[in-house]
C-alpha cells in the first residue's frame, strides 16, 4: 500500500472549537461541515464536534447522513432546497433551510408539510451571491411569516470582506438598518463566519458559523493560523520512495522545470496531483522531510513530487514527508501556489487513506 495518508486529529478539531467558543462565548455554534467537512470526513468531524449546537451543510444528502448517524442538533442547508421533494424530506427530518430566493418562498407557500420547518432568511448585504436585497428583505420575511408551516425565522447574511479590508462595517450597517423593523419579532441573528468570529465581536449575533478555523487553517489573508491559536486538524503525509542525485545542469521531472545549480539530492515523494496536491506548485513550495523544512522542486506528477534533500543528510527512502499539517501550514503551501488553504484541504482525493487519531 502506498504510504500516503491524511491523519485527522480529533483533539485539534476540539481545540479549535474551544477557540471559537472563547471568542464567541454567548453565541450558539453552527459548525460548517460542507464539502465532506472541508475534506476531513463528514461523520468523523461531526463526532469530534459533537458539542456544537448545529451543523451547516450544502445539500440534503449530507444532512440526511448526519441524521442517520444519530445527530440531533440543528442541521442547516446553506443553499436551501432545490425542489418540492427536497422540501418535504427536509421538513420530515427536521432540517432547517436557508431561503434566499422567491422560488423557495413559493415552494413553502404551496407545500403541504406534515410538520413545521425552521427558516434562515438570507440577506444580500453586498456579496451579490445569494439572498434578498435589503429592499426585498422585509417583504420576504412577511411572506414567510404568513406560511402556517414556517416555525422560526433566523435573520442571516454573509460578509464578502470579513477577512480583509474594507471589513464588514458597511454590510453590517446595511443589515442592521434593514432588520431594525423586525426587532419585535425576536428573531435570532446569524452573521459570523470564521473571520468575523475572530475580527468583529460586534457581529457575533445569536449564531456563529465557523468553517475553516475549525480545521486549523487561517480565515484571514497573510495571517498564520497559529497566531489565532488554531491547530491543524489534517496532516497530509507520505514517504520518500526513491532518491536521485543530480549533477550541476541536470533536471528532474516533466518539462525540466528545475535544473540543478549545485549537486542536488532529490527525494521522490509518493504524492501527486491525483492525490490532491496542486500540480501548479512552484519550485520552493514548503514541505517537510525527516522533520526538517525543505522545498519542492520540479513539476508535480500525477503520482509523485520532488523534494530537495541536499541539506537533510539523514533523509532517504522511507523518510517521513509532511505536505501540510502541524509542521507545514496549509496556508503557506496555498500561498506559494497562489490559492487558499480551503481549496487544498477540500481537494484531497478519495484514493488517499484517511485515518482519525486521538
CA distance 225 to 230: 5
Cα-flanking dihedrals φ and ψ of residue 238, to 5°?
Answer: -160, -155
| Residue 129: CB atoms within 10 Å | 10
Kindly give, in sequence order, each residue whose CB lies less than 8 Å from that of residue 294, ignoring residues fewer than 6 positions away: 286, 287, 288, 307, 308, 309, 311, 312
Torsion, Cα of 20, 21, 24, 29 (10° steps): 80
Q: Residues 192, 177: contact at Cβ < 8 Å? A: no
What is the pairing mode between strands 258-259 and 207-208? unpaired
Between CA 299 and CA 257 the distance in angstroms is: 6
> What does the alpha-carbon distance between residue 149 and residue 17 come to, in Å, rounded to a whole number?
34
Query: What letter would DSSP give residue 77?
Result: E
230/282 Cα distance (integer angstroms): 27
Interstrand relation of 189-192 and 150-157 (parallel, antiparallel or unpaired): parallel
Whole-angstrom distance, CA of residue 309 vs CA of residue 296: 10
| Residues noted as catalytic | 34, 254
Q: Tell me how far apart the terminal alpha carbons of the chain are, to the nearest angstrom.
A: 23
DSSP letters spanning 185-207: GT--EEEE-HHHHHH-GGG--SE
Q: Which three cell numbers stand for residue 144?
A: 414567510
Amino acid at each position: 500500500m502506498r504510504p500516503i495518508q491524511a491523519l485527522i486529529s480529533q483533539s485539534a478539531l476540539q481545540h479549535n472549537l474551544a477557540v471559537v467558543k472563547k471568542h464567541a462565548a454567548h453565541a450558539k455554534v453552527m459548525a460548517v461541515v460542507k464539502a465532506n467537512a472541508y475534506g476531513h470526513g463528514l461523520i468523523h468531524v461531526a463526532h469530534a464536534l459533537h458539542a456544537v449546537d448545529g451543523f451547516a451543510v450544502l445539500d440534503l444528502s449530507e444532512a440526511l447522513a448526519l441524521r442517520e448517524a444519530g445527530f440531533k442538533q440543528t442541521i442547516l442547508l446553506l443553499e436551501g432546497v432545490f425542489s418540492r421533494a427536497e422540501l418535504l424530506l427536509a421538513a420530515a427530518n427536521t432540517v432547517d433551510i436557508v431561503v434566499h430566493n422567491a422560488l423557495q418562498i413559493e415552494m413553502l407557500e404551496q407545500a403541504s408539510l406534515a410538520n413545521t420547518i425552521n427558516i434562515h432568511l438570507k440577506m444580500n448585504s453586498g456579496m451579490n451571491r445569494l439572498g434578498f436585497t435589503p429592499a426585498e428583505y422585509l417583504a420576504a420575511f412577511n411572506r414567510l411569516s404568513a406560511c402556517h408551516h414556517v416555525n422560526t425565522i433566523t435573520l442571516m447574511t454573509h460578509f464578502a470582506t470579513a477577512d480583509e479590508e474594507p471589513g464588514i462595517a458597511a454590510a453590517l450597517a446595511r443589515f442592521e438598518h434593514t432588520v431594525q423593523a423586525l426587532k419585535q419579532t425576536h428573531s435570532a441573528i446569524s452573521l459570523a463566519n470564521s473571520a468575523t468570529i475572530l475580527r468583529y465581536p460586534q457581529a457575533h449575533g445569536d449564531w456563529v458559523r465557523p468553517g475553516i478555523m475549525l480545521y486549523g487553517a487561517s480565515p484571514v489573508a497573510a495571517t498564520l493560523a497559529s497566531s489565532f491559536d488554531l491547530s491543524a486538524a489534517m496532516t497530509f503525509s507520505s514517504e520518500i520512495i526513491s532518491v536521485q542525485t543530480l549533477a550541476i545542469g541536470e533536471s528532474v521531472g516533466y518539462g525540466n522545470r528545475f535544473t540543478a545549480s549545485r549537486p542536488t539530492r532529490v527525494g521522490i515523494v509518493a504524492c501527486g496531483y491525483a492525490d490532491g496536491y496542486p500540480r501548479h506548485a512552484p519550485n520552493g513550495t514548503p514541505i517537510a522531510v525527516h522533520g526538517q523544512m525543505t522545498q519542492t522542486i520540479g513539476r508535480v506528477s500525477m503520482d509523485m513530487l520532488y523534494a530537495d534533500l541536499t541539506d537533510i543528510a539523514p533523509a532517504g527512502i522511507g523518510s517521513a514527508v509532511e505536505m501540510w499539517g502541524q509542521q507545514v501550514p496549509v496556508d503557506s503551501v496555498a500561498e506559494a501556489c497562489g490559492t487558499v488553504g480551503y481549496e487544498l484541504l477540500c481537494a484531497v482525493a478519495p484514493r488517499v487513506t484517511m485515518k482519525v487519531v486521538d
